[in-house]
Amino acid sequence: MAAKILIVEDEPHIVEAVRFLFQREGWECTVEADGALAVDTVSSSDPDLIILDHMLPNKSGIDIVKELRQRESSRDVPILMLTAKGQARDRQMAQLAGVSSFMTKPFANGELVEEARHLLADKA
């Protein structure tokens, strides 16, 4: 069964790049661009991995992580935060909120795919 990955990202070109890379690996991708809808989308799509941006319209990535971690259903879902805010402080806040992994934009395609594979393997 193919792994299901939710990409929460509002930049269409980045979504396109990530989806291209993941589909090439044979993973199923769902996209959500609105921060406010992200948590519901997680509930409905029940992904194996979430790729999450920080700067999102209407709700920040950190808030989404916190909400997800409070829910029974999404407590253990691996979350990879992929953000342009790469300062140490941002990384700390993300880890405190409960992300599984943290990567900054711009990213190396290989590294992103490798990290995603890693998180999917851990979950399994």
Partner 1 sequence: MISVELIIGATLLYSLLLFFVAYLAERRVRRGHAGFLRSPVIYTLSLSVYCTAWTFYGAVGSAARNGLEYIAIYLGPTLVFVGWWWFLRRLVRTGRRERLTSIADLLSSRYGKSTSLGVIVSLIALFGATPYIALQLQSLTLSLSVFSQASLPHNIGQTAALADGGQVWGQTTAFLLAIGLATFTIMFGTRNLHASERHEGVVTAIAIEALVKLASLVTVGVAVCYWILTSPVDLTPALDQLAQNTNLFDQRWITLTFLSGFAIICLPRMFQVIVVENRDDKQLSMASWAFPGYLFLMSLFVLPIALFGLSTLPASANPDLFVLSVPLSQGQTGMAAFAFLGGFSSATSMVIMAALALSTMISNNIVLPLWLKLSGSGPAASYDLRRVTLTSRRISIIVILLFGYLYFRASGGSGALAAIGLIAFLGVSQALPALVGGLLWQGATKAGALSGVITGFTIWAYASFLPSFEGQFILSASILDSGLFGLNWLRPTALFGSEIQDPLVHATFWSLGLNSLVFVLVSVFSRPTALEQFQAYIFTSPRVDSQYKRAYLQPSSEHELLAVSQRILGREEASALFRAAAQKQGITSGLPKLTSDLIEELERQFSSVVGAATAHALFAQMTTDGYISVSELVALADESAQVRAYSAELEEKSIALETAANKLREANMQLLHLGQQRDNFLSQVSHELRTPMASIRSFAEILREAQTDTARGGTQNSAEQTSHFASIIHDESMRLTRLLDNILEISFLESGQARLDVQFVALPQLLSRAELALNSLISEHGAIIDLELHTEDQLVETDADRLLQVLINLISNAIKHNDKTVPHILISTNVIDVGAHPKLVIHVQDNGPGIASEQREKIFEKFATVTPTNSKTGVGLGLAISAQMMVNLHGKLHLRDSGSGSLFEIIVPLSWPADEPS
Q: Per rule CB under 8 A, is residue 19 in the interface with partner 1?
A: no
Of the candidate residues 104, 117, 118, 120, the single one contacting partner 1 (CB under 8 A): 104
Q: Phi first, then psi: give them for residue 24, nearest 5 degrees.
A: -65, -30
Of the candidate residues 40, 43, 44, 57, the single one contacting partner 1 (CB under 8 A): 57
**Identity of the amino acid at 43:** S
**E strand or H helix at 50:** strand 49-52
**Identity of the amino acid at 24:** R
Q: Phi first, then psi: give them for residue 67, nearest 5 degrees.
A: -65, -40
Query: Per CB under 8 A, which of residues 62..101 are in contact with partner 1?
Result: 84-87
CB of 2 to partner 1, least distance (A): 18
Q: Per rule CB under 8 A, is residue 14 in the interface with partner 1?
A: yes
Q: Phi first, then psi: give them for residue 31, nearest 5 degrees.
A: -120, 140
Q: Per rule CB under 8 A, is residue 21 in the interface with partner 1?
A: yes
| C-beta of 11 vs 69, nearer to partner 1 | 11
Q: Per rule CB under 8 A, is residue 23 in the interface with partner 1?
A: no
**Identity of the amino acid at 63:** D
